[in-house]
Amino acid sequence: MHRLQELPGEWIDRSVALKFHFEGREYSGFAGDTISSALAATGLPYLGRSFKYHRPRSIFSFADHDSNLMFQVDGVPNVRGDVTPLREGMQVTAINTFGGLYNDKARILDRFSAFLPVGFYYKAFHSKRLFPRWERMFRRLTGLGTVTLSSPRALTPKRYGFCDVLVIGAGPSGICAAHEAVQAGARVVLVDEGLRAGGSLTAVDGEERRSMSALLQALVRSPRCDVRTATVASGYYADHWVALTDAQRMTKMRAKAVVFATGVIEQPAVFRNNDLPGVMMASGARRLVARYRVAPGRKIILLTGNVEGYEAAVELHAHGVPVAAIVDLRADSGDELAVQACTKLGVQIVKAHVPVQAIRGFDARVQALDIAPLQASGGVNRDATRRLDCDAVLMSVGWAAATQLLTQAGATTAFSPLLQQFLPDELPAGIFAAGRLNGVFDFNSRCADGRRAGGAAAAYCGYGESRLAPVARSTRVPSHPFAIVDHDSAKNFVDFDEDLQVKDLQHAVQEGFDSSELMKRYSTVGMGPSQGKHSAMNALRVLSRERGMSIGQLGLTTARPLYHPVPLKILAGRSFSVERRTPVDAQHAALGAVWMPAGNWRRPEYYAVGGATRLQSIAAEVSTVRHRVGLIDVGTLGKIEIYGPQAGEFLDRVYAGSFSTMRIGMTRYGLMLDEAGVIIDDGVVARLSSEMYYFTTTTGGSATVFRELLRLNALWGLDCQLVNVTGHRAAFNFAGPACRAILQTLTDIDLSEAAFPFLANRVGQIGGVESRFLRVGFVGELGYEIHVPAGGAVAVWNALYAAGVAHGLRVFGVEAQRLLRLEKGHLIVGQDTDGLTDPFEANAQWAVNMGKPFFVGQRSLRILQRRGPRQMLVGLEFADSARMAKESHLLIEQGDIAGRITSIARSAVLNKVIALALVTPQRAAASSDVQVRIEGGEMLTARIVPTPFYDPKNQRQRVEGA
Amino acid sequence: MSLLTVHRQADSCHLGLKGASATQWLATHGVIAPTAPNSWSGALPGPGEVEPLIVARLGASELFLQEAAGGHTLERLSQALRNSPTGVYPVLREDTALVLAGDGVHDVLAQVCNIDFGAMSPESRVIVMTLMIGVAVLVAPQVAADERYYRIWCDPSYGPYLGASLGAVVVDCGGVCTGVSA
């Protein structure tokens, strides 16, 4: 390849030279070059290596899916050379090499290709013994660019966009569609993955180019149109929501209507060595020559099966790049005018011949093409093979419609045997197709089809009327039905991303992977970075031949977002991470809180005080609660109010216990089940008045529980209203033997046991803040939950803290609370229960009133009662307290799993390691020793014991006069 | 040209009401709620009140009120609610209130919310209930001196996150934030 003389309209600016490094050597290109065009102009024989066999590769399609020409650029992996503009000082290296591009040690794999058949890695992993070895080898050998963890974090803010009509593809049909929609009054966004609009137009001059330029300029000037180039529509989602990806960000474009003018993608001919550097698509060569003025070679053979091949030869000639010969796969092309035009230019025309193989030169590039005549039977007369010397082979044998996004939008396609192309069949509302995608190929028809689609899309959005008639589809055949030539020595590639040859697909079919979906998954055809854009159709043709079925019968594989690879940084965007904080967050921080996530809240795990370790801090917090007084922020609990005449009945239905009969001023534990009788949440329900209850949910469950309650309320239509006040109300647990006396100094409520007994609730004031007091005991000591409006939280917290410090108060965190409740044997839903645990298994049947007319899960519980438990929650004490098991360690009995630990901790007050475990019913019944397997396979002995471990008669929560 | 800002309005008071009789009860206390769901209105100030009161209807029987510092209407209503009027349920609202304003305000909103605020007419006085970077919010587009600005309310536990995240976007877009940490 070499750079041509300057030509008006070229995309490069020769006045600005750009120096860059490739594989450690300095080169020079021009402003406006892409990495690939600049490298091609240097005359380097090849620019990359293939994924599997490490074969030399060069520019192939030059259409944003040259997956063998992705580079490591300034530390960024997998940068696409064909679309990435060159910059001064770029450091570019080839990817997927061992020792550099021109000394790649892995190139030897090409010689061992016979030992790497299709699906070889699936088969390799069949051996359990060899699995680790294969895994290590595959991990070492595979992969493309190198992720450098030291790279600076690049924030790529996503944004939402809105328009009436989104037009995808800025070729002639797309430009006309956008113009028509704008003229009708619609707000239009026109996007194209190319660096400039214009699509396939590469001619130097002419009426087509001029008319498109005029329309494009009008669109750029229009305030109603937003033209975005270098922007890929990478995925279609529901309701005309399209992900638009550019170098900086992803735009989530919400359109009212979408026009797909995505065009067609040129497909390669398949013959031996069709991947040699110098063999490339004719459309890619046209772009390379017209835009970047790089000639693909000095002696060019053009392999064709359509009229576009002849047009390419004429155009290249006009650009100063003569084509030596055209090899036409067809005996009768029907394109006599085009043939004559080429003949006049001195191009040798060879009809009814196929390429047998490309010949590799000393520099790894193509140096000749062997061709053989087609016989009348359709076979190839290999005895008459002859060799044509060349340094480039351009292929123009057919196209595949870019239907991937269209089908993601819900459109169906049908294969046209005449056009040898899938065409849009049924389109959902608001979806329109135009241009070559739609089977319309000549320039004027594409423009007319674009105007029709743009007008219809605008009308769909309420702008004007859809008045233009459908445009007739092409009658000429743009694609050869089978440009695939078998060869005994293979290396006739169908998929250049994954180095898949014809025989690989044949073997996949022979092994039973004989549908388009199965073949794709087994062979990985179409699963590389280009996502089948150049391989899916040829793979279908091979499958069609092997199965004896039509392409239409086989159908395309399902296209799913993302249609085009998107860098992870673009998907990450700003990396927003939702976090909730309680009103006393700053007070926690001042007290030395060490944070932990709890749901989406941040909570103090413990408070680091005076250089104590984590375990020391937690132990001190526990001890303080047991012996003096502790204060914990429990504002993360879900907090819900329910009002209305039927509020009690509603709670009776959603909880397993009874609440409509509960006295005003009392609280009760509530257990919430799903329809299967499984425990999904728990909390405390307080009755504040005849028509008002206030109840808590678990921290993690508040949003889902509230949503479910709203659904049930709408379903049942009871006269009650639910309000979620989780974030609007703070809550603290003030607990320990000294808490009553301290609290009494702060509130006007009579806290005596007689006036405010265990499980009662009262409303009163602390420091002028109206508060709700619930006398409950999750930590197993005398204690009060104090619920206050968020605005008064800091005042109440400070008052409690100040009053308590004189009595040895410590604030305590989540870990201390977990230990305290474990000593009491209180379960945590989701930790000590799993997705199947019912109240009987959790020893919580005391919270269930089966005599009620109805509650959610009741019917299932009746069945579960008859069936008996599947597992039981039990307490464990460990004999050896020096070594600790962990949560989820297994109980083992005679080699089988007999249960698992759900919570475990070392209790200082009990001086032993205690745990809760879900075990088989047989084990739960026997109060005996069990074996627990810990890390390294070591076994610990534990004994099943009754719970609570601490204060089994609950005397400390009901203490008089403390 | 006006500077892009996000500002936390820390001194405003809020009140929520639910129940079939809420609108009527409010009217008896001189506060007229808008009739259309998802809309807001500014009520006439009462005697001695100079600060505006915003009354938003969030649904058929749910109302949200905000009053700026110095007003007494919400205090008066809260006192009246202690009598437990039939069919009216007070809702504790301790919302974080933010105001987003200035040039580029729609650029900020486009990065955090899937609503085309630019296409909305502030004269329509809509109240939008939506998600903003993962947080349920109420948004009221408003206009003053031909300049758009947006009032945003959210659950106070999300306030620090929403304020800081919005602040970061605002700063990236060349603006400043007050009362929130970017």
Q: At B49, is the pLDDT very low, low, confident or very high (cuts 50, 70, 90)?
A: very low
pLDDT tops 70 at residue A187: yes
| pLDDT tens readout for residues A1-26 | 889 999 888 999 999 999 999 999 99
User: Do the Cβ atoms of B156 and A157 come within 8 Å?
Assistant: no
Q: Is B156 on the interface with A (CB under 8 A)?
A: yes
Same domain? For B17 and B83 the reply is yes
Cα A574 from chain centroid? Answer: 16
User: Do the Cβ atoms of B110 and A159 come within 8 Å?
Assistant: yes
Q: Which token pair is A794? A: 């800091």
Residue A151 lies in a domain: no
Looking at residues A391-414, what average pLDDT do you find?
96
Which positions in chain A touch B93 (Cβ < 8 Å)?
Answer: 728
Residue B33 lies in a domain: yes
Same domain? For A374 and A325 the reply is yes
Helices and strands, counts by H and E, chain B:
4, 11
Residue A569 lies in a domain: no
| pLDDT tens readout for residues A872-923 | 999 999 986 678 999 999 999 988 999 999 999 999 999 899 999 999 998 8
Residue A614 lies in a domain: yes
Across A296-300, A431-435, A575-579, A954-958, least confident range: A954-958
Same domain? For B35 and B74 the reply is yes
Cα–Cα distance measured from residue A422 to residue A540, given in angstroms and rounded to the nearest whole number: 12
Neighbours of B164 (CB within 10 A): 15
Q: Is B114 on the interface with A (CB under 8 A)?
A: yes
Phi, psi of A713 (to 5 degrees): -65, -40
Same domain? For B123 and B150 the reply is yes
Residue A45 lies in a domain: yes
Which of B56, B71, B91 corresponds to the end of one domain? B91
pLDDT tops 80 at residue B180: no
Contacts of A776 (CB under 8 A, 6+ apart): A667, A684, A759, A783, A785
| pLDDT tens readout for residues A824-864 | 999 999 999 999 999 999 999 999 999 999 999 999 999 99
Q: Is B86 on the interface with A (CB under 8 A)?
A: no
Closest CA to A421 of A334, A473, A479: A479
Same domain? For B166 and B100 the reply is yes
Cα A536 from chain centroid? Answer: 23
Torsion of CA A857, A862, A864, A865, to 10 degrees: 130
Residues A198, A263 contacting (CB under 8 angstroms): no
Residue A955 lies in a domain: yes
Q: Which token pair is A271? A: 């013959």
Helix or strand run (H / E) with residue A787? strand A783-789
Q: Is B110 on the interface with A (CB under 8 A)?
A: yes
| pLDDT tens readout for residues A628-647 | 999 999 999 999 999 999 99
Q: Which domain holds residue A189?
A: 159-265+401-460
Same domain? For B21 and B69 the reply is yes
Residue B179 lies in a domain: no
DSSP strand E in A493-564: where?
Answer: 493-495, 500-501
Which positions in chain A touch B160 (Cβ < 8 Å)?
Answer: 579, 581, 585
Same domain? For B59 and B127 the reply is no
Residue B19 lies in a domain: yes
Give bridge partners of residue A57 from the DSSP assignment.
A48
Same domain? For A781 and A899 the reply is no
Across A378-382, A391-395, B95-99, least confident range: A378-382
Name the CA radius of gyration of chain B, rounded.
Answer: 16
Which of A397, A430, A448 corresponds to the end of one domain? A397
Predicted pLDDT of residue A299? 96
Q: Which domain holds residue B30?
A: 13-91
Same domain? For A171 and A252 the reply is yes
User: Do the Cβ atoms of B94 and A574 come within 8 Å?
Assistant: no
Same domain? For A613 and A758 the reply is yes
Looking at residues A644-670, what average pLDDT do you find?
97
Residue A680 lies in a domain: yes
Give bridge partners of residue A255 from the DSSP assignment.
A163
Q: The CATH number of the domain where A367 resides is what?
A: 3.50.50.60
- Say if the ipTM goes beyond 0.85: yes
Q: At A690, is the pLDDT very low, low, confident or very high (cuts 50, 70, 90)?
A: very high
Residues A53, A45 contacting (CB under 8 angstroms): no
Q: Which token pair is B61? A: 């029987």
Phi, psi of A266 (to 5 degrees): -65, 140
Same domain? For A289 and A302 the reply is yes
Same domain? For A663 and A735 the reply is no
Looking at residues A372-378, what average pLDDT do you find?
88
User: Do the Cβ atoms of B94 and A576 come within 8 Å?
Assistant: no
Cα A274 from chain centroid? Answer: 34
Helices and strands, counts by H and E, chain A:
24, 49
Same domain? For A80 and A99 the reply is yes
A330 class by beta-carbon count within 10 Å (0-12 exposed, 13-18 middle, 19+ buried) = middle
User: Do the Cβ atoms of A576 and B160 come within 8 Å?
Assistant: no
Neighbours of A875 (CB within 10 A): 20
Same domain? For B100 and B158 the reply is yes
Same domain? For A890 and A843 the reply is no
Tell me the pTM: 0.88
User: Do the Cβ atoms of A576 and B155 come within 8 Å?
Assistant: no
User: Do the Cβ atoms of B111 and A601 come within 8 Å?
Assistant: no
Q: The CATH number of the domain where B99 resides is what?
A: 3.30.1360.120
Same domain? For A818 and A944 the reply is no
pLDDT greater at residue A144 or residue A509: A509
Specify the number of domains making up chain A: 6
| Strands A392-396 and A399-401, sheet pairing | unpaired
Residue A115 lies in a domain: no
Which of B52, B76, B91 corresponds to the end of one domain? B91
Nearest residue of B to residue A155, measured between CA atoms? B172
User: Do the Cβ atoms of B156 and A601 come within 8 Å?
Assistant: no
Answer positive or negative: Cα dihedral of A291, A292, A297, A299: positive
Q: The CATH number of the domain where A714 resides is what?
A: 3.30.70.1400
Q: The CATH number of the domain where A82 resides is what?
A: 3.10.20.440
Same domain? For B63 and B87 the reply is yes
Same domain? For A591 and A650 the reply is no
Which positions in chain B touch A644 (Cβ < 8 Å)?
Answer: 89
Same domain? For B101 and B167 the reply is yes
Instruction: Measure in Å the smallest separation between the Cα of B9 and chain A Cα atoms.
Output: 14
Three-state SS at A601: strand
Neighbours of B53 (CB within 10 A): 20
Same domain? For B84 and B102 the reply is no
pLDDT tops 70 at residue A961: no
Instruction: Measure in Å the smallest separation between the Cα of B74 and chain A Cα atoms.
Output: 15
A and B: number of Cβ contacts within 8 A: 88
Same domain? For B80 and B150 the reply is no
Cα–Cα distance measured from residue A451 to residue A462, given in angstroms and rounded to the nearest whole number: 16
Average pLDDT score, chain A = 94
Residue B126 lies in a domain: yes
Residue B180 lies in a domain: no
Which positions in chain B touch A689 (Cβ < 8 Å)?
Answer: 84
Q: Is B59 on the interface with A (CB under 8 A)?
A: no
Point out the residue among B91, B133, B155 whose CB comes nearest to the CB of A576: B133
Which positions in chain A touch B113 (Cβ < 8 Å)?
Answer: 160
Predicted pLDDT of residue B45? 44
pLDDT tops 70 at residue A962: no
Which positions in chain A touch B16 (Cβ < 8 Å)?
Answer: 723
Which of B48, B71, B91 corresponds to the end of one domain? B91
Residues A709, A863 contacting (CB under 8 angstroms): no
User: Do the Cβ atoms of A576 and B157 come within 8 Å?
Assistant: no
Phi, psi of A185 (to 5 degrees): 110, 5
Looking at residues A782-792, what average pLDDT do you find?
97
User: Do the Cβ atoms of B114 and A254 come within 8 Å?
Assistant: yes
Contact map slice: B 4-33 vs A, CB within 8 A: 16, 18-19
Q: The CATH number of the domain where B17 resides is what?
A: 3.30.70.1400
Which positions in chain B touch A583 (Cβ < 8 Å)?
Answer: 156
Residue B53 lies in a domain: yes
User: Do the Cβ atoms of A574 and B168 come within 8 Å?
Assistant: yes
Closest CA to A162 of B107, B17, B62, B154: B107
Specify the number of domains making up chain B: 2
Same domain? For B54 and B101 the reply is no
Q: Choosing among B61, B66, B89, which should be mutated to test the A contact, i.e. which has the most A CBs within 10 A?
A: B89
Q: The CATH number of the domain where A893 resides is what?
A: 2.40.30.110
User: Do the Cβ atoms of B91 and A157 come within 8 Å?
Assistant: no
Nearest residue of A to residue B93, measured between CA atoms? A728
User: Do the Cβ atoms of B91 and A160 come within 8 Å?
Assistant: no
Q: Is B133 on the interface with A (CB under 8 A)?
A: yes
Predicted pLDDT of residue A715? 97
Cα–Cα distance measured from residue A437 to residue A421, given in angstroms and rounded to the nearest whole number: 9
User: Do the Cβ atoms of B110 and A161 come within 8 Å?
Assistant: yes
Residue A525 lies in a domain: no
Across A384-398, A799-813, B132-146, least confident range: B132-146
Give bridge partners of residue B17 from the DSSP assignment.
B63, B90
Residue B158 lies in a domain: yes
User: What percent of chain A has pLDDT above 90?
Assistant: 84
Neighbours of A133 (CB within 10 A): 11
Predicted pLDDT of residue A739? 96
Neighbours of A289 (CB within 10 A): 24
Cα–Cα distance measured from residue A373 to residue A353, given in angstroms and rounded to the nearest whole number: 4
Residue B52 lies in a domain: yes
Which positions in chain A touch B157 (Cβ < 8 Å)?
Answer: 580-582, 601, 635, 726-727, 790
Cα–Cα distance measured from residue A879 to residue A881, given in angstroms and rounded to the nearest whole number: 6
| pLDDT tens readout for residues A607-619 | 998 889 999 999 9
Cα–Cα distance measured from residue A600 to residue A704, given in angstroms and rounded to the nearest whole number: 13
Same domain? For A610 and A736 the reply is yes
Predicted pLDDT of residue B182? 60
Give bridge partners of residue A673 from the DSSP assignment.
A679
Three-state SS at A585: helix
User: Do the Cβ atoms of B169 and A157 come within 8 Å?
Assistant: yes
Phi, psi of A328 (to 5 degrees): -100, 125
| Strands A421-424 and A353-360, sheet pairing | unpaired
Residues A890, A899 contacting (CB under 8 angstroms): yes
Q: Give Cα separations from B103 to A286, A862, B110 (angstroms).
A: 45, 64, 13
pLDDT tops 50 at residue B112: yes
Answer positive or negative: Cα dihedral of A303, A309, A313, A316: negative
Residues A652, A855 contacting (CB under 8 angstroms): yes
Same domain? For A960 and A851 the reply is no
